[in-house]
Amino acid sequence: MEKRTYLFSLFLFLTFFVFLFFFPFCPLEPADVIEMVRHANEICDAYQFEPYITLNTVNPRCLEAVINIAFDRDDAERTQQAQKCVDEMLERYLAVGMVPYRVGVQDMSRLVDETDPFWRTVRDLKSAVDPNHIISPRRYNLV
């Protein structure tokens, strides 16, 4: 494919499509990595999306994934299906202990637990440095 044709195709793709992302962690063990990819494929297949998956080694024990799906932003039904797909990924990965390292503000309540001592400590630290709760309210914390 000529460079000009490729760039035009890329322009069209990026103009009409948007992406939703999901970012789980998993142990850097073959069985866990296979499980992570299997879950993404199963869920995306159910919603008729192709998962684009990037795997990155964080350290000798941990792997992060970037799982994204592309869809036409002008198609309301596909947009809704894409959000449901990502919601199901969050549920499934949390259920198997593969916690995402990043979520949208709409999903904070699914990660941040008011009864967890860790999150109460994060709240107390944030309140000490940001008593008016101006910096990133309710993102990765209780306030």
At 128 the pLDDT is 94
At 139 the pLDDT is 83
At 34 the pLDDT is 97
Structure tokens that stand for 130 in this block: 């940001």
* 110-111-116-122 Cα dihedral, nearest 10 degrees: -130
At 13 the pLDDT is 61
CA 132 – CA 110 distance, rounded (Å): 24
At 45 the pLDDT is 97
At 44 the pLDDT is 97
At 32 the pLDDT is 96
Helix (H) or strand (E) holding 15: helix 3-16
At 104 the pLDDT is 82
- CA of 135: how far to CAs of 26, 92, 114, 127, 129, in Å? 29, 30, 19, 10, 10
At 19 the pLDDT is 87
Strands (E) located in the chain: 17-27, 52-59, 62-72, 100-102
Q: Which residues of the chain have pLDDT under 50?
A: none
> Phi/psi at 135 (nearest 5 deg)?
-80, 120
At 74 the pLDDT is 87
CA 106 – CA 138 distance, rounded (Å): 10
